[in-house]
Structure 1
Amino acid sequence: MLVDLRQYTLHPGRRDELIDLFDRYFVEGQEATGMQLVGQFRDLDDPDRFVWLRGFPDYESRGKALSDFYGGPVWKAHREAANATMLDSDNALLLKPLLVREGYPEPGSIRPPIGAADVPPSFGAADVPPSIVAGAVYHRSSLSDGFTDFFRNDIEPALSEAGARPVAVFETYPAENNFPALPLRDDPVLVWLTTFAGPASYDAYRDRLATSPKWRDHLEPELTRLSATPPQHLRLTPTTRSALR
């Protein structure tokens, strides 16, 4: 399995337009070519960012599936509307799994049908979204920098103790982009993701981590030392038809 993690910067106020296209047309449209739509999300810290993940059985199938979709009728019918919402769609990473646990969706996972009521973009409404998907993107100096072992041996146990046991951990898959029409970043990263029942459980995890002496005095400084740039913390709310939630 390989995964594209894609983060789009959109024109102000147009995120829900793109989400409607995704949830209505691009989920089944892409899965019909052999991809897995893992999840689609609103970034809770940026109203104009849309984040999504799609999976592929392997490297070779990735090139064929992308060619089939972007050369096929679904994309051709809706590409102008989708592209009109986007300022930048080049923030994309090709990742391989280091760990996948229960909670990460299997291919073919059941999701709400097309037309199901969408979740609101904030937590102010009465029908609060049921979950938060959170994690981080750690930017590294190289794939041989010892970061993976440090994460497995030290960071992951600390996250789990604070209430954020990762359901998936990925790192950069170092290969030539086999669908160059869609650019990929080639910088080495490690990405982890998990799910929370809602804002309260997420905030409790952040509080526990911030008040942990081990995290504050040892692990966070070592993270800073090993990271090429500051990490990107992800705090996302799934769209109605996101499989990961």
Structure 2
Amino acid sequence: MNDCCPHECCAVVDLRQYTLHPGSRDTLIDLFDTHFVEGQEQTGMHVAGQFRDLDDPDRFVWIRGFRDLPARAAALNEFYYGPVWREHAAAANATMIDSDNALLLRPVRLGPGYPAPDAPRPDAVGPSLIAGAVYHRGAPEDQFVEFFTDHVVPVLSATGAEPVAVFESLVAENNFPQLPLRDEVVLAWFARFADEAAYDVHRRQLDASRVWRERVLPELVCRSVKPAHELRLRPTARSQFR
């Protein structure tokens, strides 16, 4: 897996996971899909994907990209001090318990399945599933990316979960401190599945893999500072990443 970033928009990425008040997720998604997609992209961001967490009815997950760090600061200032957020901020904030679960990342690999900014933006919820994990590393220089590329990816791919996107922490100062970031070093990956049944097939094959059980998973656990956070995500109606 070679380092690559085919889309100029995405050298810097925010992965954000919001904990919401019970029953309010659809309210936020309606606000987001109606107002915040174009509202953010008009400032130069790329809203690549927004999702319902299938394992937590009160969690909303989304990904946005920036050309570089200066572009991130400029775009966030323009949006959060601009008219779209000013008009809808109170309604959006009213849905949220915690919006500080956010990671600053950079792409290790973005495959052909990762949406470019001009990719079609549908208007319907489909059966597809985006799944993956966030691995918590010890340090940026721990060779975790090499281990993931050489040992984890082959098993994932062989069991039907070839990563579409792989990100690692971008160790840099938060240049929009009004939105806090978690101080963690991670590797995150995402794969696409046609539906939940396809994901379940992958999990059964992975659990049955002797290489995974006896070699890869024990080493992965040893290299991680805490358990992985696994994600099963349903794209919203207007998510490009699906």
Work out whether the TM-score is over 0.5: yes
Q: Following the alignment from structure 1 to structure 2, what is the Cα–Cα distance between the partners of residues 130 and 108?
A: 22
Matched, 1:212 2:209: yes
Residue 108 of structure 1: CA displacement?
2.0
2:130 aligns with: 133
**Which of 11, 24, 34 is the matching residue for 1:14?**
24
- Is the partner of 2:225 in helix, strand or coil? strand
Is residue 244 of structure 1 aligned with residue 220 of structure 2? no
Choose from 177, 182, 191 the match for 2:179.
182
Residue 35 of structure 1 deviates from its aligned partner by 0.1
Q: Deviations over 1:6-51 (max 9, x none)?
A: 0000000100000000000000000000000000000000000000
Please say if 1:73 is aligned against 2:83: yes
| Structure 1 position 221 matched with structure 2 position 218 | yes
- Number of the residue aligned with 1:32: 42
Count of aligned pairs = 232
SS class of match (2:182): coil
Give the whole-Å Cα distance in 2 for the aligned partners of 1:23 and 1:174.
30
Q: Distance in 2 between matches of 1:53 and 1:142?
A: 23
Q: CA RMSD in A?
A: 0.7
**Could you tell me whether the CA contact under 8 Å between 2:127 and 2:196 is conserved in 1?**
no
**Contact kept in structure 2, 1:174 and 1:186, CA below 8 Å:** no
Q: Gaps spanning 5+ residues in structure 2: where?
A: 1-10
Structure 1, unaligned runs of 5 or more? 120-128
**Post-superposition, which runs of at least 4 consecutive aligned residues in structure 1 deviate over 4 A?**
none
The 3-state SS of whatever aligns with 2:176 is: coil
Deviations 1:118-140 (A, max 9, x none): x3xxxxxxxxx320000000001
- Deviation sequence 1:56-111 (CA, Å, 0-9, x none): 01111000000000000000000000000000000000100011111100012221
**1:94-173 mapped onto 2 (5 Å cutoff):** 94-112=104-122, 116-117=123-124, 119=125, 129-173=126-170
Separation in 2, partners of 1:87, 1:23? 20
1:93 counterpart SS class: strand
Which whole-Å CA distance do the structure 2 matches of 1:188 and 1:108 have between them?
31
**TM-score under structure 2 normalisation?**
0.95
Same amino acid, percent of matched pairs: 60
